[in-house]
Homo-oligomer: A and B are copies of this chain.
Amino acid sequence: MGTDFSSLLSAIMPPSYVIPSDFDPSRHLSLVAKRRGVSPLKGMQKYLGTPGLLSMAGGLPNPDYFPFDELTANVLAHDQFPITPIGIATSRGTLDWLWNLFVTKPLKAAISVPKYSNQPDDIQLSTALQYQMAKGIPHYISLCREIVAKIHKPGYSNWEVLADDGNTDGWAKCVQTFCNPGEAVLYDEWTYPSALAAMKPYGVSAVPVAIDQQGMCSNNLREILESWDDNVRGSPRPHLMYIVPIGQNPTGATMGVERKQAIYDICVEYDVLIVEDDPYFFLQLGDYLPPAMRSTKYQDADQVFIDHLSPSFLRFDHQGRVIRLETFSKTIAPGCRLGWTTCAPLFAERLERASETSTQAPCGFSQVLVTTLLEQWKYEGYIRWLHGLAVQYARRRTLFVDLLMQKFDIEIQSPCVDSKRSANIVYSAYQKLSPYAADIEKGRRPHIFTFTPPTSGMFVWLKFNLDGHRRTPEDGDETTETLFWISVVKEGLLIGPGGMFAADQSVAKNSTAGHFRISFSTIKDEEMIAAVNMLAKAVDKFYA
């Protein structure tokens, strides 16, 4: 037989899980992982395939009765999208620099997954569509580990990865695992509203931290933690941070290395766990350069693209206090509902328990299709795919900013365009006047909005100065932001009003400023041109 009865027994009848015995208190990580019941059946499943042991123990349907017999997909090639220059400004200042990078005739290949394979370790529907270990099928875990090891390079060695249903799911499990009612979590002051909504029912509140063009400000973070008074705040000092450090949602901000190091160090000092929600990591687009400054020679090698990416918090993580949420939603498709969490073993074990009693493993179709695609492309092919995607989104970002430059008078507040610091440059937009009037007026009239061209992600964040609007009785109680938003909708354009992204709603409602998140990810070129015209018209009417 050769069965190890004691380990079999302990798998089926595990001791109550509290903190594992290998927990190292010298790291003084918050003792936050909650006691969570474990399903003993899951432990037993490991033994279901033990040689020589017949099983009538599992609650498994018979795979012979799965109606899916073979799965095939036509897929794009890993080099579907070019990585050639993203645009060349012409002397005419028109838009004809926008050559179409999209190859209209797709280079298709096929992948397929059989129901049964001769090799038990192969990817096959008979096992992938069966009940699975919640942390994912082994092939999927392997490819996630490869990405983490080669790209993120965590600052410690025994990190773990486990599958989840995407970052929203990953964050919900973090809230439910690490937070107790009455606690508070550190947030960017403008943030992803679903992340806030995931905490609300559990009695967990948000503590907004100020942000700038690089995202969360380390000095404000320190002030908040340093001056924390449980009695004044009504909750214990936060031990958890939620942060989107790259292509931040909604502001598009990307955090540089120094800022990340500073924030990590403060989290060490105050024992804060960092949940890094990083869906836009591979959509790092490079700096926006005004047309006159663009080179036609841009074409990095794929590895250069990877080497220049702003690193994950994992890179700085020598203590295992970062829980990184990564997803295929932006690099493959959101409907995959497939991502993974990278974290220390202590937390991985807790989060796996959370999956076992909620989502279980991610969808088997998704796991096999994404895994088979990436195994066919191989690591190098996937990197090439990501590089191509980034160039595509960069082109969209550039077109949108170019259009703003054309429809408004733009003043660049830091004239020294240093590519390493372009994330800090503020563009101020003024109403477009005739060239003659513009020369006279410049500097004397108030700007309409400011923005920083994003270096990552899908969003441009416009900060409007709406003080100049004269309110009328018909405006009622609406905020000025809402009034302007309605003006834009009336022109025929839907954009994201900033109020919905405020971590502290009272701030958003009392502000006279207006903020808007504008996404350049899906709109067609000709529609984008129309959209910026609509925005300019709405501005003209709002200030008329």
Give the B-binding residues of A (Cβ under 8 A). Answer: 1, 3, 5, 8-9, 12-13, 34-42, 44, 47-48, 50, 52-76, 80-81, 102, 106, 108, 125, 128-132, 165-166, 168-169, 172-173, 176-177, 181, 193-194, 196-201, 249, 329-330, 332-338, 353-354, 356-367, 369, 373, 385, 389, 392-393, 458-459, 482, 486, 489-490, 492-497, 499-500, 517-523, 527-528, 530-531, 534
Contact yes or no, B358 A198, CB < 8 A: yes
Complex: how many Å from CA A335 to CA B360? 9
Would you call A335 and B196 a contact (CB within 8 A)?
no
Whether B530 pairs with A54 at a CB distance below 8 angstroms is yes
| Contact B73 A70, beta carbon cutoff 8 Å | yes
Write out the residue numbers on chain B whose beta carbons fall within 8 Å of the beta carbon of A176: 176, 201
Sorted nearest first, the 10 A-B pairs with minimum C-beta distance are A335-B364, A37-B197, A129-B335, A363-B363, A37-B200, A129-B333, A172-B358, A365-B365, A198-B357, A69-B74
Known: A201-B176, A519-B56. A47 touches B494 (CB 8 A): yes
User: In the complex, which residue of chain B has the Cβ closest to the Cβ of A61?
Assistant: B330
Q: Give CA–CA (A491, B70) in the complex, Å.
A: 37
Q: Are B73 and A72 in contact (CB under 8 A)?
A: yes
Which residues in B have their C-beta under 8 angstroms from that of A166? 360
The answer to whether A56 and B494 touch (CB under 8 A), given A40-B500, A337-B362, A366-B366, is yes
Residue in B8, B337, B530 whose CB lies within 8 Å of A489: B8
Q: Is the CB of A329 within 8 A of B69?
A: no
User: Quick one: which of B60, B73, B199 contacts A519, CB cutoff 8 A?
Assistant: B60
Once A201-B35, A357-B198 are accepted as A-B contacts, the answer to whether A497 and B369 lie under 8 Å apart by CB is no
User: A42 to chain B: which residues have CB within 8 Å?
Assistant: 194
**Docked pose: A102 CA to B62 CA in angstroms:** 12
Residues of chain B lying within 8 A (CB to CB) of residue A128: 335
Across the interface, A333 reaches (CB within 8 A) one of B72, B106, B130, namely: B130
List 19 interface pairs A-B (beta carbons < 8 Å), by A numbering.
A5-B489, A12-B497, A37-B201, A53-B489, A59-B519, A59-B521, A62-B393, A67-B80, A68-B369, A69-B108, A125-B333, A131-B334, A165-B363, A172-B357, A173-B358, A181-B181, A335-B363, A365-B366, A366-B366
- Bound-state CA distance A206–B194 (Å) is 31
Q: Which residues of B contact A199 (CB under 8 A)?
A: 37
A528 proximity list for chain B (CB < 8 A): 56
Q: SS class of chain A's interface: helix, strand, loop or mixed?
A: mixed
What's the Cα separation between A44 and B517 when bound, in Å?
A: 13
B165 and A165 form a contact (CB under 8 A): yes
Q: CB-CB < 8 A to A44: which residues of B?
A: 494, 496
Contact between chains at B495 and A360 (CB < 8 Å): no
Which residues of chain B come closer than 8 Å to A168, judged between CB atoms?
357-360
* Complex alpha-carbon distance, A76 and B62, angstroms: 14
Once bound together, how far apart are the Cα atoms of A29 and B177, in whole Å?
30
Q: A193 touches which one: B5, B41, B500 (CB < 8 A)? A: B41
Instruction: Enumerate chain B residues within 8 angstroms of A356, measured Cβ to Cβ.
Output: 194, 197
When the two chains form their complex, are residues A495 and B57 in contact, meaning their CB atoms are under 8 A apart? yes
A477: shortest Cβ distance to chain B, in Å?
A: 12
B58 and A522 contacting across the interface, CB-CB below 8 Å: yes
Known contacts: A72-B73, A360-B169, A496-B41. The answer to whether A333 contacts B61 by CB under 8 A is yes
Q: Is the CB of A363 within 8 A of B360?
A: no
Are A61 and B197 in contact, CB atoms less than 8 angstroms apart?
no
Query: Could you list 14 further interchain pairs (A-B, Cβ under 8 angstroms) beyond the known A67-B80, A69-B106, A125-B333?
Result: A53-B493, A54-B494, A54-B523, A55-B522, A61-B458, A64-B102, A68-B73, A168-B358, A172-B357, A334-B364, A335-B365, A337-B361, A337-B362, A338-B363
Rounded to whole Å, the gap between the CB of A112 and the closest CB of chain B is 9
A141 to B173 alpha-carbon distance, docked (Å): 26
Whether B389 contacts A65 by the Cβ 8 Å rule is yes
Q: Are B194 and A359 in contact (CB under 8 A)?
A: no
**With A39-B194, A336-B363 known to touch, is A56 a contact of B495 (CB < 8 Å)?**
yes
| Of B57, B62, B73, B197, the contact of A69 (CB 8 Å cutoff) | B73
